Structure 1
Amino acid sequence: MLDTSTRVIFDEDQAAFRETVRRIVGDLDMERHEREGIVEREAWEAAGAAGLLCPGVPEAYGGPGLDFSWNAIVDEEVSYAGSAVGWTLQSDIVADYLIAYGSEEQKQRWLPGMVTGKVITAIAMTEPAAGSDLQGMKTIARRDGNGWRLNGSKTYITNGQSADLVIVCARTTEEGGARGISLFLVDREDEGFTRGRNLDKIGLHGNDTSELFFSDVALPADRLLGQENGGFVMLMSQLPQERLSIAVQCQGAAQRAFDLAVEFTKDRKAFGKTVFEFQNTRFTLADMKARLQVGWAHLDWAIARHVKGQLTAAEASAAKLWHSETQFQLCDMALQLHGGAGYMNEYPIARLWRDSRVARIYGGTSEIMKELVARSI
């Protein structure tokens, strides 16, 4: 269990909320999710009924209208538990696009269902030939009367198999680069929208990640999200919260890796004493604990700045860079302390180690994060 006793950014109401989150997360059938590669809708609806989904949605659309610190509680507990459920993408990313840029009709149509878990969402940016470089996307939406015709494909889309609503990034001019990108709302029932296979990943087996295809999908005018050709600015405006969300999840998982390593080494015996008693083990754990102490202090600083609207894009990029790299380092160190047991899937550290690798890639690779931070210097 995460120890939050020394943290000052959360109040008593949030402590009670954290207990609710732990209860709901504790009920998740993670072994089933790992086997089937998808989270059942009942789990989404249970999370919605308990108030775990989309805390930032205003009361007018069925939500509680809370700040990001409430999202962070869910992120921490889900990652600490080792679950790959896609709630954080819905709550921390998709919901804010609709809140910030959606029309009143769009908000009324989609946000209440997202809060209850009856509507599952995804956002489709990445393409086979355009990952971190969003300016290179090829998916295109052309004018068709008052509406649009959408053609193209996306890949590596979290919640892709489950999603009822997908925010799709598409080019709306022939001009390349950042100009001419727009965002569209695609409904699961739209003709011409199909899903490929549930992708076979190294880790994060417990959620669905898919290829999506758009073949002459007819979209009425009211499916445009925000301004035409304003998509790139919208994406850049929302990426800091996405990257902070990833940083939060990385820190929670890193803490769990450390806790598992302490538990295992104090129980496991070698050469007549516990593994914990060897100096190498104690020094390794001391190094991990020091990094975690720094990580939690930094994370609370970043969350507090974001809640005040002060976290810059460069700061969010730095947070994502540091916490994702630290998560992988600590998960690897923890697995090493498990010895051969760490390589067995029956031990939770194996899943944490596998799942940690992608955090250095999605949301912008570590290399891209370094470039973004460097530009601010």
Structure 2
Amino acid sequence: MLSTYIEVLRTLQYLYFDHFPLFYKLPFEFRQTKGKVIRVAKVNRNFDVVISLLPAILFTLAVLFCIIAMWLRSPLTRNPIGDVKMWSWLMVAIVCFCGLYFYTLWMLVYQTVGIFMLNEIFQYEEVLSKDSILARHSTMKPSPTEYFLLLLFKLTIWTFYLMTPGYATIVTFFGLDPLHPLFNFVLISNPQLRKFILFFAFNSEALLMLGIFTFKVGCVTIFLYEGIRVAGFFIGLVLLMGKMVISYLSSLSHLTDKYKSSIVHRSYRSHLKIYKVLMIIFQSLESPMKSTASLAIIAGMVGVSGCFFVLVKLPAVNEVYFTVACAMISVCGVILTKVILDTLGNLHVTSEKLLLHYKNLEIVLGMRANCKKLYLKEFYCLKAISIPVGLGTARFSKMTYSVKTEILKNMFESTINFLIAF
């Protein structure tokens, strides 16, 4: 049913978990059981507490170095607002802060609860999808557009994995890494330290510069690998979970049709209880999901707005490589944001349709008075499932399909206003 989505996660798992260039793993990972069933499992590691903090420390250092780099470069630039490097470091700092928040919240604070929630959803969807009648009626086969996008994501995962050291070398060569102004400041302001380091480079300036360049390339490579891994894990999990829940709700709808006579004549209410479990899972994590969704929207908006600003407002100072990179980030950011918001919006629409299906007149009118009273009492306790979210002045209580459209509109309006303001 969801083989295409699972194939993308398998690629991510194979490259960034099973064959990751660095020596440590994230606190939990994807695991595939028999067939094509995905589970999320905790990774058993030596020095688990220390290793779990490494990505958080990496994101924190990235934010700190970007702030220091902006502080050092600002006095040296006539127009800081028109400086490409300043904008690059600002965008990286904001996105890394959001990444730090996501990682700390879901992989450290809510680790156990998150694993339980995801596996419960996967398990229920797996059980329902085994029914041949439900599988025939499944609407979770990807459309040609989705199939193309998922194949594109899979190709992107491979490309980033293989080309990351090359990207790191290019970024460092053009001085776009935040370590560049920091190293220059330290070596210029402290001649004794420079002489000390030069001694270990056999008093060769060329060897010293090569060593510093290699060190910076290594640091940027590690950061890019870890950033892509964490981002890929969360984005892949959100997409798969959203599609799983939609598939789960669609299966429940067909299950209601299948056992309609038992619901009417024998007051069969298990379909309500199954839905209630899912509703409770989402309600229990409403607070962290709200902040996560809000920050994800902010990170996406900052990335897209910043890249559009560089493309539109700073063409004179742009190199070709930077223009292409900004264009790719902008396009991919818009597509990915729309895909995720579509998934979350469809989740709400599907759950509302299912609740209307539960209250089908044929079911309710066919029941005896006492059974109808119990059925409706339990039914009215059920609420539509949706992700809570809020963003600046546009504060939304729930992620509905109309809210999804409004968020996208606000993102584009913010980008245009940002371009006009500066």
Query: Which one has the bigger helix percentage?
Result: 2
TM-score, normalised to structure 1, is: 0.28
TM-score, normalised to structure 2, is: 0.26
- Relative CO higher for 1 or 2, CA cutoff 8 Å, sep ≥ 6? 2
Whichever of the two has the greater Rg, that structure is 2
Query: Which one has the bigger strand percentage?
Result: 1
